[in-house]
Structure 1
């Protein structure tokens, strides 16, 4: 099999007395969308922050293209981080900035580019995402779906190799949620980036992901193709993806 682009090997992370990651093994492959699923509050976003380097493991190692990140020097780590972009939960657009300024921000932070090059790249991404003519508007003037596209333009403007999505459809109604998923699928196919998404939208994410990983009790209990997880015999997986109520809860409800 092809070498993973990103690989977790027996990764542990604890916050005080709370052990969140308890020996995570995970492989993420180049050019695919991998979605991490699991119950709320179980550590999915913590795992995502380890990928981008916002958190470091207490034990274990994370590899990028076969090389342990912990073994890299500061310059090498910066080079790896330059390959990433992050689409935040709730878009995280700055209300005090125009659409143009929001999309241009990563270029100003990551690159020492001349002003005219920044302008050209921002306008190119706005055109590609059908956002022309709104450069001078503020986020408060945009619809929910348009805000998602602006957030996507900002995530893609640096031409990243890897894009991380943290609950990208949180707070959206079903129509806008479907539109956001379709947008991610469309632009992943267009630009070929490697996508890593945290989501609880089952079964929607099965249609836009090449690989699914399920986090439970601090470990990855499944990783494979969407069709494979739907055939899993494990009760915890079947209950989660099918929205089944556990037997003990069914009994308790029956007594009410």
Structure 2
């Protein structure tokens, strides 16, 4: 069997309706996996592309920032006949304001969605995998701000820095239980979250000048890393935060 073949696998992908989550869901399906898409809005386009490639797609509409919803996602997947052994935590939001002006509401919204919900979804997923005796892969979507401070996104920076730490902690605890926990740290990607940055001509030009690859990333630039971390090729990779950033961190 190919080191990158995902045939017979089930992947849960959060935020699968657009952007990075959509690209990864379709990419994992292209590698052979069936998909459980999780999002707050319809994932019609993602479903069509997955199904047209011959894979199954189950849709779960849920707001993961609400308490207790993580366990519901796993329960629904299992009840629908899925046997999830890949989890991609991509769902996330961003709020922008100077640190001096940042509100508690914006802090809580981002931390609840980007960090708290991710941890409890990982926990519920790991419990199910361990109970079933099923090896599994968790892939968290971190950020360059897991390594750097950034500006005007204090809660996002805190959440993504925390996610890098949690990725390592969960890898430490669960590696011996057959669960690989790793993360992808995308660079500056053309998605809804970066619309404001790309609309700011000066800021966008400054970012572009620092990227050795000479362009912003596309969502599908994350697919190869996701397939690698989901597949048997990465069976001895634990606790890694893999930048896919066009060389940004190397500058």
1 or 2 for the larger relative contact order (CA 8 Å, sep ≥6)? 1
TM-score, normalised on structure 1?
A: 0.33
TM-score, normalised on structure 2?
A: 0.34
The structure with the largest helix share of the pair is: 2
Higher radius of gyration, 1 or 2: 1
